Amino acid sequence: MSALKIFVPGDAAARAVGADETVQTIAAEALRRKIDIEIIRIGSRGLLWLEPLVEVEVAGQRHAYGPVAADQVAGLFAAGFASRALPACSHPLAHGLTEEIPYLKKQQRLSFARVGIIDPRSLSDYLSHGGYRGLAAALAMQPADIVASVSASGLRGRGGAAFPAGIKWKTVLGAAGSPKYVVCNADEGDSGTFSDRMLMEGDPFVLIEGMTIAALATGATRGYIYLRWEYPDAKRALEAAIAAAYAEHYLGDDVQGSGKGFDLEVRMGAGAYICGEETSLLESLEGKRGQVRFKPPLPAIAGLFGKPTVINNVITFASVPIILDRGAAYYQHFGMGRSRGTLPMQLAGNVKYGGLVEIAFGMSLRELLYEYGGGTLSGRPIRAVQVGGPLGAYLPESQFDTPLDYEAFAEIKGMLGHGGIVVFDDSVDMAAQARYAMEFCAIESCGKCTPCRIGSTRGVEVIDRLVAGQNAPAQELLLRDLCETLTHGSLCALGGLIPYPVLSALNHFPEDFVKSPRAHASA
Amino acid sequence: MTNSSLRRVIPIKVEPASLLNAEQRAAVENACQRLKELPGALLPILHAVQQALGFVPHDAVPLIARALNLSLAEVHGVLSFYHYFREHRGGRHVVHLCRAEACQALGAVGLEAHAKRSLGIDFHGTTADGAISLEPVYCLGNCALGPSMMIDEQLQGRVSTARFDALIAQARAVVKP
């Protein structure tokens, strides 16, 4: 009889709450009880409040237990958790079949279809779960047809700017220059986001496949994944997957006998939020300070080392294989308006059930916050949520019915960005959040544009004077004026969008900016 | 037309890396030798030096500049631009404490104050016993399980003040080889 399969995430978030200790304890306990088990480290299912989530495979189906701390392992064994005949369904940590957990079952997982299921280090696992079918389809197509397919799918850049991917690719295909490059922006710096990290750790091959398809579509021969240093686990996962892909000729000078070559490597960032901006990222890849470039020329025409360059976010590339495999129409039928397909939303901050929720565009923010998120972790009312990272607006309860759609968020002067949602309860001081936004801008500004470089520091000072009640009406006028200068006087989104969190806090929560601060309920 | 043989070649004087000890010098030269042919080699070289030594010593700059045919200003400009690169030796363990919004929503501001008070240092400082350096970081990608921090390369989630103290005590007990 083969060993009993037990799955435990090797994902950094699961390891951060003790998954490694849980694995060691399970192994020791199984040895002590002479039970033959095989522990497989997988990506995270994204039900992060249940981490470490342990799954036991019985009759081909996985049963979930979580959160399993190391000191609970012995009790689970005693309850029959590692028994093939009868899973320990009555144990308080048991959640039944993983696939039936409503949080997971209600999702529409396209780009995350394999995350938490396959062994991310195993190319054969990837292949047996539909991997590289998109590449096989692409290899039988002309470059222009691949680009047309991506355009028809309606896929827009998932990094935050939501620019149609097909248009970028078409520009690179038509641009003269050699070599051409494919660059993956894996500098996921927005607070409240972790979908890129989870995908790279849980299913790195899908990113490699998506980038390879981009190379075929545009005639590029060399690729880079620009990864932030804060993700060492993702670096290990990507490098192992790249080595495996080279060994089986999915990368290299003759991809699957096509005669076309594509080389790929991982490059590490060094702690600069601005390098998530595409032109700064290219500067950084070239070995320079990550300063924003003027556009035009577009990176698609003159990008990395001055050559035509496709640059997209991790999730954008990871969405491509399924488009090529299942067809543009399949992907396009998800979503609403001009936002097609799915977006992996990330529930973060003070939220009871934090995690990754991949759903079609169109669900309301309220449904996501309460049906999935279950309200706050602290049990207090939600006062504000910040959507779209540190440059996203703070939204009050009255805006929670906004549908998750790029245009709907733009209408309320917010943005969906990379899909991160940070929840705050009623103990939050919104003036402090506005001040932090300016402080963050000052720390992370690349220094190229004066409003961002200097205005951010002045912004901190103005907010301090406003909150201290030093001629408050004049300070507020000054702050609004400064925000307007930032909006119109910055080359990139950092300076251009930092007014979003500042002004949304000021407009929706003006009571927090008056001198005698409202009595904050103690947390 | 000028006769090319009359041109005087003025040698560029490279500052000697006099303050580097043998180990440091070897690490810098090794990194340059191994990586200088890469396109955009400067960041990979700085990473390699920091990985080997824990920081990028000031006197490594001229060696790297010479290897890549860059000016001292260019190398210094890059080194000082990126928050991750350290120009001074840190503690045996580096703690990166997240200051970003998702962790703030779960009390990161209080945790930051506790960390500074209990270690007796501010950000970018190192404890008197040389064990711990404290650095701010803006998101570790663990936003559903905050507050978060990273000790060396190990991410930690749900860091209460008590858990912070326990993790620091654990780190102090580990003396890296």
> pLDDT digits over B16-42, tens only?
666 899 999 999 999 999 999 999 999
Boundary of a domain, candidates A395, A424, A453: A424
- Do the Cβ atoms of A390 and A366 come closer than 8 Å? no
CA distance to A50, A65, A100, A239, A381, per residue, from A355 (Å):
9, 16, 16, 25, 19
Domain with residue A455: its CATH number is 1.20.1440.230
Residues of chain B positioned with their CB less than 8 A from the CB of A284? 43
**C-alpha–C-alpha distance, residues A242 and A185, integer Å:** 17
CA A480 to chain centre: 31
Residue type, A417: G
Out of B78, B142, B150, closest to residue A287 by CB: B78
Q: Which residues contact B172 (CB under 8 A, 6 or more apart)?
A: B93, B129, B131, B132
> pLDDT digits over A503-516, tens only?
999 999 999 999 76
**C-alpha–C-alpha distance, residues B177 and B162, integer Å:** 27
Boundary of a domain, candidates B81, B104, B125: B81
> pLDDT digits over B76-111, tens only?
999 999 999 999 999 999 999 999 999 999 999 999
Judgement on whether residues A266 and A361 belong to the same structural domain of the protein: no
pLDDT band at B62 (very low <50, low <70, confident <90, very high): very high
Q: Which residues contact A214 (CB under 8 A, 6 or more apart)?
A: A169, A182, A220, A223, A310, A312, A317, A320
In a domain, A416, yes or no: yes
DSSP A90: T
Residue type, A487: T
Q: ipTM, 2 decimals?
A: 0.95
Out of A16, A196, A268, closest to residue B145 by CB: A16
> pLDDT digits over A395-454, tens only?
999 999 999 999 999 999 999 999 999 999 999 999 999 999 999 999 999 999 999 999
Judgement on whether residues B39 and B97 belong to the same structural domain of the protein: no
Judgement on whether residues A288 and A346 belong to the same structural domain of the protein: no
SS3 B55: coil
Residue B9, pLDDT score: 72
Judgement on whether residues B100 and B64 belong to the same structural domain of the protein: no
Provide the 10 A C-beta neighbour count for residue A397. Answer: 14
Domains held by chain B: number: 2
Out of B85, B145, B155, closest to residue A270 by CB: B85
Break chain A down into helix, strand, coil percent, rounded to 5: 45, 15, 40
Which of A510, A106, A31, A501 is closest to A342 using CA atoms? Answer: A106
In a domain, B111, yes or no: yes
Boundary of a domain, candidates A424, A453, A487: A424
The CA-based angle B92-A13-A364, given to 5 degrees, is 140
SS3 A125: helix
Whether B175 shows a pLDDT value over 90: the answer reads: no
Q: How many residues does chain A have?
A: 523
A-B C-beta contacts closer than 8 Å: 159
In a domain, A523, yes or no: no
Radius of gyration of chain A (CA): 24
Taking CB atoms and an 8 Å limit, are A12 and B144 in contact across chains? no
Judgement on whether residues A294 and A350 belong to the same structural domain of the protein: no
Give yes or no for B15 touching A (CB within 8 A): no
Taking CB atoms and an 8 Å limit, are B144 and A347 in contact across chains? yes
pLDDT band at A85 (very low <50, low <70, confident <90, very high): confident
Whether B167 shows a pLDDT value over 50: the answer reads: yes
Taking CB atoms and an 8 Å limit, are B142 and A13 in contact across chains? yes
In a domain, B3, yes or no: no
**C-alpha–C-alpha distance, residues A26 and A28, integer Å:** 5
Judgement on whether residues B101 and B164 belong to the same structural domain of the protein: yes
Residue A493, pLDDT score: 95
B contact test, residue of A191, A353, A382, A441 with most B CBs within 10 A: A191
In a domain, B57, yes or no: yes
- Do the Cβ atoms of A458 and A482 come closer than 8 Å? yes
- Do the Cβ atoms of A186 and A226 come closer than 8 Å? yes
Give yes or no for B100 touching A (CB within 8 A): yes
- Residue predicted with more confidence, A81 or A14: A14
Q: Is the peptide bond before B177 cis (omega within 30 degrees of 0)?
A: no
Out of A51, A288, A423, closest to residue B145 by CB: A51
**C-alpha–C-alpha distance, residues A408 and A189, integer Å:** 24
Taking CB atoms and an 8 Å limit, are B82 and A270 in contact across chains? yes
Whether B15 shows a pLDDT value over 60: the answer reads: no
Question: Residue B98: which region, alpha, beta or left (left: phi > 0; alpha: psi -120 to 50)?
Answer: beta
Judgement on whether residues B109 and B161 belong to the same structural domain of the protein: yes
Q: Which residues contact A136 (CB under 8 A, 6 or more apart)?
A: A256
Instruction: Compute the mean pLDDT over every residue in chain A, rounded to the nearest whole number.
Output: 96
- Do the Cβ atoms of A348 and A192 come closer than 8 Å? yes
Which of B94, B100, B108, B99 is closest to B153 using CA atoms? Answer: B94
Judgement on whether residues B134 and B99 belong to the same structural domain of the protein: yes
SS3 B110: helix
Judgement on whether residues A203 and A236 belong to the same structural domain of the protein: yes
**C-alpha–C-alpha distance, residues A405 and B21, integer Å:** 58
> pLDDT digits over A99-111, tens only?
999 999 999 999 9
Which backbone phi and psi does A167 adopt, to 5 degrees?
-65, -45
Mean pLDDT, residues A55-66: 94
Judgement on whether residues B136 and B109 belong to the same structural domain of the protein: yes
Judgement on whether residues B157 and B102 belong to the same structural domain of the protein: yes
Residue A519, pLDDT score: 43
Six-digit token string for A63: 């049963």
Judgement on whether residues A172 and A302 belong to the same structural domain of the protein: yes
**C-alpha–C-alpha distance, residues A173 and A168, integer Å:** 9
Judgement on whether residues B97 and B169 belong to the same structural domain of the protein: yes
Boundary of a domain, candidates A332, A357, A372: A332
In a domain, A376, yes or no: yes
CA distance to A274, A330, A392, A463, B107, per residue, from A447 (Å):
10, 44, 21, 21, 30
A contact test, residue of B56, B86, B142 with most A CBs within 10 A: B142
Judgement on whether residues A323 and A350 belong to the same structural domain of the protein: no
> pLDDT digits over A331-378, tens only?
999 999 999 999 999 999 999 999 999 999 999 999 999 999 999 999
Judgement on whether residues A388 and A278 belong to the same structural domain of the protein: no
- Residue predicted with more confidence, B111 or A519: B111
Taking CB atoms and an 8 Å limit, are A191 and B143 in contact across chains? yes
Query: Read out DSSP for A427-464?
Result: T--HHHHHHHHHHHHHHH--S-SHHHHTHHHHHHHHHH
Six-digit token string for A163: 């620019």
Alpha helices in A248-391 (DSSP H): 278-285, 314-326, 328-332, 365-367
Whether A517 shows a pLDDT value over 60: the answer reads: no
In a domain, A110, yes or no: no
In a domain, B130, yes or no: yes
Judgement on whether residues A36 and A183 belong to the same structural domain of the protein: no
Judgement on whether residues A292 and A222 belong to the same structural domain of the protein: yes
Out of A188, A267, A444, closest to residue B44 by CB: A267
In a domain, A188, yes or no: yes
CA terminus-to-terminus distance, chain A = 53
How far B16 CA sits from the closest chain A CA (Å)? 23
Provide the 10 A C-beta neighbour count for residue A70. Answer: 18
Helix (H) or strand (E) holding A313: strand A309-313
Domain with residue A47: its CATH number is 3.40.30.10
Residue A88, pLDDT score: 66
Judgement on whether residues B98 and B169 belong to the same structural domain of the protein: yes
Domain with residue B104: its CATH number is 3.40.30.10
Six-digit token string for A509: 């929560």
Give yes or no for B78 touching A (CB within 8 A): yes
Mean pLDDT, residues A5-24: 98
In a domain, A519, yes or no: no
- The reported pTM is 0.95
Give the rounded percent of residues in chain A with a pLDDT score beyond 70. Answer: 98
Residue type, B173: A
Quote the domain boundaries for residue B67.
22-81
Judgement on whether residues B112 and B164 belong to the same structural domain of the protein: yes
Mean pLDDT, residues B126-131: 96
In a domain, A522, yes or no: no
Domain with residue A393: its CATH number is 3.10.20.600
pLDDT band at A521 (very low <50, low <70, confident <90, very high): very low
Out of B41, B143, B155, closest to residue A346 by CB: B143
Mean pLDDT, residues B47-65: 96
Boundary of a domain, candidates B55, B81, B107: B81
Give yes or no for B82 touching A (CB within 8 A): yes
Q: Which of residues 135-164 of B touch A (CB under 8 A)?
A: 137-146, 148, 150, 153-158
Strand partners, A387: A421
DSSP A293: P
Query: Read out DSSP for A373-416?
Result: T-S-SSSSPEEEEEESSTTSPEEEGGGTT-BS-HHHHHHTT---
Whether A523 shows a pLDDT value over 50: the answer reads: no
Whether A285 shows a pLDDT value over 70: the answer reads: yes
Q: Which residues contact A164 (CB under 8 A, 6 or more apart)?
A: A151, A154, A155, A156, A157
Out of A16, A285, A349, closest to residue B101 by CB: A349
Judgement on whether residues A230 and A357 belong to the same structural domain of the protein: no
CA A45 to chain centre: 14
> pLDDT digits over A446-495, tens only?
999 999 999 999 999 999 999 999 999 999 999 999 999 999 999 999 99
Q: Which of residues 386-425 of A touch B (CB under 8 A)?
A: 386, 390, 420, 422-425
Quote the domain boundaries for residue A236.
123-332
Six-digit token string for A148: 């047309």
Provide the 10 A C-beta neighbour count for residue B72. Answer: 14
- Residue predicted with more confidence, A521 or B52: B52
In a domain, B8, yes or no: no
- Which string of b and e fits B84-98 if b means at least 16 CB within 10 Å? bbbeeebbbbbbbbb
Judgement on whether residues A346 and A486 belong to the same structural domain of the protein: no
- Do the Cβ atoms of A100 and A62 come closer than 8 Å? no
Whether B176 shows a pLDDT value over 70: the answer reads: no
**C-alpha–C-alpha distance, residues A114 and A134, integer Å:** 14
Domains held by chain A: number: 4
pLDDT band at A180 (very low <50, low <70, confident <90, very high): very high
Residues of chain B positioned with their CB less than 8 A from the CB of A436? 101, 104
**C-alpha–C-alpha distance, residues B67 and B59, integer Å:** 14
Judgement on whether residues A239 and A366 belong to the same structural domain of the protein: no
Domain with residue A189: its CATH number is 3.40.50.11540
Strand partners, A161: none
